[in-house]
């Protein structure tokens, strides 16, 4: 019965999880979550997205609340790692003077010309609504940058907005 249940959980996860999700947390009371993860019930593409296992005391709605509360640090770490990768990529390209722009005027121009692939925006930047709308209209991915790291502060100091370009 347990094997069938874990297969059903895996099938449900596959049907609900898409490539746009950043991470997966496996949670629950007792050792079953470890068995589920360790014994390869999840396909490899989903297993790679697992950011952690969280112990809960409950199941159902209370268990979900517990998962969110106890999983916050895992979620923050995942968001922080993604942000750091984007900033590293941005500053590496900037250092080589290849396929990046920064500053409000140049970035908005790149978005309007559909040259922007990924637009990086500090969370506290002005005109955020306008930038979000432009990105949506011109097919640019929008990523928010916090001010919680040295790289993020450096990004904020050069205007808090920039883009990695398609070409």
Supply the CATH number for residue 76's domain. 3.30.420.60
Query: Residues with Cβ < 8 Å from 162, sequence gap 6 or more?
Result: 90, 94, 100, 101, 102, 103, 107, 119, 120, 155
pLDDT for 18: 73
Q: What is the pLDDT along the chain (167 residues), one digit of tens a residue?
A: 999 999 999 999 888 887 667 688 999 999 999 999 999 899 888 898 899 999 999 989 999 999 999 998 888 888 888 899 999 999 999 999 999 999 999 999 999 999 999 999 998 898 899 999 999 999 999 999 987 789 999 999 999 999 999 98
Question: Which of residues 80, 102, 126 is at a domain's end?
Answer: 80
Report the candidate in 25, 19, 16, 18 with the shortest Cα–Cα distance to residue 64.
Answer: 25
6 lies in the same domain as 68: yes
Domain tally for the chain? 2
Question: Which of residues 29, 53, 80 is at a domain's end?
Answer: 80
Q: Residue 95 is part of which domain span? A: 83-165
56 lies in the same domain as 111: no
What pTM was estimated for this model as a whole? 0.68
State the Cα–Cα distance between residues 159 and 122, nearest whole angstrom. 9
92 lies in the same domain as 124: yes
């Amino acid at each position: 019965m347990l094997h069938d249940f874990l297969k059903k959980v895996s099938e449900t996860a596959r049907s609900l999880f898409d490539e746009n999700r950043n991470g997966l947390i496996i949670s629950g009371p007792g050792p079953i979550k470890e068995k589920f993860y360790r014994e390869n019930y999840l396909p490899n593409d989903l297993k790679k997205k697992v950011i952690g296992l969280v112990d809960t005391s409950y199941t159902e709605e209370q268990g979900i609340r517990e998962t969110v509360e106890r999983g916050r640090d895992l979620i923050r770490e995942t968001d922080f790692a993604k942000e750091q990768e984007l900033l590293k990529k941005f500053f590496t390209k900037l250092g080589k003077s290849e396929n990046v722009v920064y500053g409000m005027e140049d970035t908005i121009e790149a978005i309007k010309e559909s040259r922007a692939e990924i637009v990086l925006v500090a969370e506290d930047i002005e005109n955020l609504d306008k930038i979000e709308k432009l990105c949506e209209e011109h097919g640019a991915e929008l990523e928010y940058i916090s001010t919680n790291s040295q790289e993020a502060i450096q990004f904020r100091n050069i205007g808090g907005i920039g883009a990695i370009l398609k070409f």
